[in-house]
A and B are shown apart, each in its own frame.
Chain A
Amino acid sequence: MERLKVLKTYKVYIGGKFPRTESGRYYSPKNAKGEVLGNICFCSRKDIRNSVVAARKAFGGWSERAANNRGQILYRIAEMLEGRKAQFIEELILQGSTKVQAEKEVVLSIDRLIYYAGWCDKYTQVLGSVNPVASSHFNFSMHVPTGVVGILADQKTSLIGLISLIAPVIAGGNTCVVLASEKLPLCAITFSEVLNSSDLPGGVLNVLTGSCSEMMKPLTTHMDVNAMIYSGSDKSIVKELKESSALNLKRILHYDLDWMKADSQDLYKLSDFQEVKTTWHPIENIGGASSSY
């Protein structure tokens, strides 16, 4: 007798926990062959709010972690993903990729995590400056995270687009709320399980599924979201994001890139979600001795 396969209940990831959507709603996206991918949570405005609260709560701890530790955790995420490669390849194939494409996408995703893991304890060195001011002050500028970032993940890919957006954001000490690809949501949810076993504190990354057009507004108009990323080419979405930014001056970033390309990763994706903080520290200025003595 053939063994009955155990099907997976896809949940969302909020504050380090896996609830279903509070709305009780679901949708059942299909692949090109007409096969149902699963009964996916159709998240609501309330889920967005809960996620933003979780992300804000996690921000202090995450942004103040030692850079080295953040790097270790990103590396750990890559390790966990490596161990579950097969599952992601299977999901990508189910969502319409060929085996070759799927393998390539998963491997690239792992490598991209490693790339940004390495930046964690280096970007402030590359981007920061000691400024030679004319007064008796030690004046330095360093990059610090912007805060809570809302991410509208790439709609065309299930995994690589997601990884390419979240990795620089969390590497830089931000926390985020991600709306997964509407038609290709499986990898985002499974990736949450990877996160959950990788020492990433709950709330740093929150993953929601459902209708992007419905959830975009509550996310972009949320007063406690500091920045938004949109990946894609829809000009009307960019316009809506920029307009809503006028509410609390959210930083709006728009990328229209092929994330499978090697050059779609760089330092500037990371610095896009950083604020420059400049400190004037006093220098004692008494006595006449100079360093030539």
Chain B
Amino acid sequence: MAKKKENQSKAVKWDYSPAPESSSHINMKDQYELFIGGKWVKPSSGKYFDTINPANKRKLAKIAYANEKDIDKAVKAARKAYKTVWSKTAPAERAKYIYRIARLMQERAREFAVIESLDSGKVIRESRDVDVPLACNHFFYYAGWADKLEYAFPNRKVESLGVAGQITPWNFPLLMAAWKIAPALATGNCVVLKPAETTPLTALKLAEIIEESGLPPGVVNIVTGYGDTGAAIVNHDDVDKIAFTGSTGVGKIIQKAIASTDKKATLELGGKSANIILEDAPIDQAVEGIVNGIFFNQGHVCCAGSRLFVQESVAEEVIEKLKHRISSLIVGDPMDKNTDIGAINSKEQLDIINRYIKIGLDEGATMYQPDCSLPKSGYYCRPTLFMNVAQSSTIVQEEIFGPVLTIQTFRTVDEAIEKANNTPYGLAAGIWTDKGSRIFNLANKLNAGVIWANTYNKFDPTSPFGGYKESGFGREGGLQGLSAYVKLK
């Protein structure tokens, strides 16, 4: 008897053997130039910057730093391609180019996944199973729209806009490039795209595929650089449309910058989305959903379920199970297939997250972090829960963009709706309940562009994504995503 008891009390230590994804088969250059007019050109300033692997701070490649002159060159190349080739290309042929890009990406999917994880710090499981397949499918989906646009806008003639300037963020580098480029090409526009400075590699790999696909030179131009490079795109006179995904702060600057122009804009900005657990929810499933909602991609997700609302009657159980669950999450090498939470994308972002964690503590919230080990080098953050927070707490109000979850409780459904809607954002919301009718009730009343019921952070090329209020305007994905790139006559 006594011996058995002893055995039970001795916690079994489950060690996982490392299961690293090999990076030996990937093709990566030491230095990348700008992809303009179908050619790889050196930046006019001669300047380059390093992109590093945030998991170990090692340099991956040297990246060209584009300035205003380079952007002008890229926009001119796009305009020329638009006028001379792309606007005259039959829609069905346009479709075939896009299909071809999708296929070429699929063929090199594993290479994309590995480079994405190296450059961004996201875990290989996610880049392999989520980012890359979704990006391929996005091209595949929009390809078919190219010759069917008249069915999307009843009673109207559809025309392309011209040159689209597109600026993408570092959290889903390849996927966001796909979200931007695919619908723009399908609707007959040409593109100048700038990926984020910390994660330029997969967009440049995509440029290689575009080159390989035989897409006419200048239809897609990929330029790399920092915020000033993006500003040069926004302020260029000959750009007809700006598509931006990033912070609400920068989105507002862009909106102001283009106020006196006729440029169309879609802005996909921040969020502080509510994830609501009702008492009849399947609790174990909900706990997985909470974890996926906030710790997916290290919480670097604009629609992350960063505000958890749990019905009082089950709060204790949910929080206890959640603590238990996150204590088994593995934080570490993104290239290891066992890893749940990878590296924070940059030092800058890690500083921001740590600042918010400090604010949370200073404002009197109760913090819980599991006591897991972190790699010695690289940027990492433990999954973090904050209890005893108020609606007015800074960490409840502001987007943190990291693995930090605030937990609040509610008694009635009305209270949950009111609290969830009490934010300047309106991107997404999660609902966990066993009752279908309750899902529809909450879905109607939550002010958010995407509502996930008994799931979270699901994406699909056919499903439009985008938010209300300060989460921006316009939709990406689906039929509705076409309207950002057309004018109706």
Q: Tell me which residues across on chain B come within 8 A of A146, comparing CB atoms.
A: 468
State in angstroms the CA–CA spacing of A275 and B452 once bound together: 17
B443 touches A249 (CB 8 A): no
B26 within 8 A of A: no
With A131-B462, A282-B455: A243-B256 Cβ-Cβ less than 8 Å: yes
State in angstroms the CA–CA spacing of A245 and B354 once bound together: 32
Q: Tell me which residues across on chain B come within 8 A of A282, comparing CB atoms.
A: 439, 453-455
Contact with B along A231-270 (1 / 0, CB 8 A): 0000100011011011111010000000000000011100
Most central of A64, A235, A243, A276 by chain B CB within 10 Å: A276
With A129-B479, A276-B466: A242-B460 Cβ-Cβ less than 8 Å: no
B255 touches A242 (CB 8 A): yes
Q: Tell me which residues across on chain B come within 8 A of A239, comparing CB atoms.
A: 259-260
A288 within 8 A of B: no
B269 touches A139 (CB 8 A): no
Q: Of the candidates B424, B440, B464, which one forms a contact with A141 in the assembled complex, judged by CB atoms under 8 Å apart?
A: B464
Contact with A along B9-34 (1 / 0, CB 8 A): 00000000000000000000000000
Q: Tell me which residues across on chain A come within 8 A of B259, comparing CB atoms.
A: 239-240, 242-243, 245-246
With A248-B469, A282-B453: A276-B480 Cβ-Cβ less than 8 Å: yes
Q: Tell me which residues across on chain A come within 8 A of B449, comparing CB atoms.
A: 275-278
A126 within 8 A of B: yes
Shortest CB-to-CB span from A168 to chain B, Å, is 15
Q: Tell me which residues across on chain A come within 8 A of B155, comparing CB atoms.
A: 266-267
B475 to A, closest residue via Cβ:
A276
A280 touches B466 (CB 8 A): no
Q: Tell me which residues across on chain B come within 8 A of A24, comparing CB atoms.
A: none
State in angstroms the CA–CA spacing of A196 and B103 once bound together: 61
Q: Tell me which residues across on chain A come within 8 A of B443, comparing CB atoms.
A: 277, 279, 281
A139 touches B463 (CB 8 A): yes
A280 touches B472 (CB 8 A): no
Q: Tell me which residues across on chain B come within 8 A of A49, comparing CB atoms.
A: none
Q: Which of B463-489 contact A (CB under 8 A)?
A: 463-466, 468-473, 475, 478-480, 488
Shortest CB-to-CB span from B474 to chain A, Å, is 9
B448 within 8 A of A: yes
State in angstroms the CA–CA spacing of A179 and B229 once bound together: 41
Q: Tell me which residues across on chain A come within 8 A of B448, comparing CB atoms.
A: 277
Q: Of the candidates B260, B440, B453, B475, which one forms a contact with A280 in the assembled complex, judged by CB atoms under 8 Å apart?
A: B453
Q: Tell me which residues across on chain B come within 8 A of A248, comparing CB atoms.
A: 424, 469-470
B252 within 8 A of A: yes
Q: Which of B106-143 contact A (CB under 8 A)?
A: 137
State in angstroms the CA–CA spacing of A135 and B472 once bound together: 27
B248 to A, closest residue via Cβ:
A249
Most central of A246, A249, A281 by chain B CB within 10 Å: A249
B463 touches A278 (CB 8 A): yes
Q: Of the candidates B137, B156, B255, which one forms a contact with A268 in the assembled complex, judged by CB atoms under 8 Å apart?
A: B156
A246 touches B455 (CB 8 A): no
State in angstroms the CA–CA spacing of A130 and B433 once bound together: 22
With A129-B478, A267-B155: A249-B452 Cβ-Cβ less than 8 Å: no
- How many A residues touch B, CB cutoff 8 Å? 36
B154 within 8 A of A: yes
B463 touches A267 (CB 8 A): no
B453 touches A249 (CB 8 A): no
B269 touches A249 (CB 8 A): yes
A242 to B, closest residue via Cβ:
B259
B451 touches A279 (CB 8 A): yes
A141 touches B253 (CB 8 A): no
B443 to A, closest residue via Cβ:
A279
Q: How large is the interface on B (under 10, 10 to 19, 20 to 34, 35 or more residues)?
A: 35 or more
Q: Tell me which residues across on chain B come within 8 A of A132, comparing CB atoms.
A: 462
Q: Of the candidates A226, A276, A280, which one forms a contact with B452 in the assembled complex, judged by CB atoms under 8 Å apart?
A: A280
Q: Tell me which residues across on chain B come within 8 A of A266, comparing CB atoms.
A: 155
Contact with B along A20-37 (1 / 0, CB 8 A): 000000000000000000
With A249-B472, A267-B154, A278-B463: A141-B478 Cβ-Cβ less than 8 Å: yes
B480 touches A141 (CB 8 A): yes
B448 to A, closest residue via Cβ:
A277
A135 to B, closest residue via Cβ:
B458
A249 touches B252 (CB 8 A): yes
Q: Of the candidates A126, A135, A141, A280, which one forms a contact with B154 in the assembled complex, judged by CB atoms under 8 Å apart?
A: A126
State in angstroms the CA–CA spacing of A265 and B385 once bound together: 52
A281 touches B436 (CB 8 A): yes
A268 touches B450 (CB 8 A): no
State in angstroms the CA–CA spacing of A152 and B462 once bound together: 36
Q: Of the candidates B439, B463, B469, B480, which one forms a contact with A249 in the assembled complex, judged by CB atoms under 8 Å apart?
A: B469
Q: Tell me which residues across on chain A come within 8 A of B451, comparing CB atoms.
A: 277-280
State in angstroms the CA–CA spacing of A226 and B467 once bound together: 13
State in angstroms the CA–CA spacing of A245 and B450 once bound together: 23
Most central of B154, B267, B269, B468 by chain A CB within 10 Å: B468
A137 within 8 A of B: yes
A6 within 8 A of B: no
A4 within 8 A of B: no
A60 to B, closest residue via Cβ:
B445
B458 to A, closest residue via Cβ:
A280
Q: Tell me which residues across on chain B come within 8 A of A226, comparing CB atoms.
A: 468-469
Q: Tell me which residues across on chain A come within 8 A of B480, comparing CB atoms.
A: 129, 141, 276
Q: Which of A119-144 contact B (CB under 8 A)?
A: 126, 129, 131-135, 137, 139, 141
Shortest CB-to-CB span from B62 to chain A, Å, is 36
B165 within 8 A of A: no
B285 to A, closest residue via Cβ:
A282
B251 within 8 A of A: yes
Shortest CB-to-CB span from B102 to chain A, Å, is 15
State in angstroms the CA–CA spacing of A243 and B256 once bound together: 5
Contact with A along B157-190 (1 / 0, CB 8 A): 0000000000000000000000000000000000
Q: Which of B77-99 contact A (CB under 8 A)?
A: none
Q: Tell me which residues across on chain A come within 8 A of B455, comparing CB atoms.
A: 135, 137, 280, 282
Q: Tell me which residues across on chain A come within 8 A of B377, comparing CB atoms.
A: none
Q: Which of B236-292 contact A (CB under 8 A)?
A: 248, 251-253, 255-256, 258-260, 267, 269
A-B contact pairs, 9 of them (CB 8 A): A137-B458, A249-B471, A268-B156, A275-B449, A277-B450, A277-B451, A278-B465, A280-B455, A282-B454
User: Which 4 residue pairs are nearest across A and B when measured between Cβ atoms?
Assistant: A242-B259, A133-B460, A131-B462, A243-B259
Given A126-B154, A276-B466, A277-B451; 16 other pairs, CB 8 A cutoff: A129-B479, A131-B460, A147-B468, A235-B260, A239-B259, A242-B256, A246-B253, A246-B256, A246-B259, A248-B469, A277-B450, A278-B465, A279-B440, A279-B450, A281-B439, A282-B455
Report B's interface with A, CB cutoff 8 A.
Answer: 137, 154-156, 248, 251-253, 255-256, 258-260, 267, 269, 424, 436, 439-440, 443-444, 448-455, 458, 460, 462-466, 468-473, 475, 478-480, 488
Report A's interface with B, CB cutoff 8 A.
Answer: 64, 126, 129, 131-135, 137, 139, 141, 146-147, 226, 235, 239-240, 242-243, 245-249, 251, 266-268, 275-282
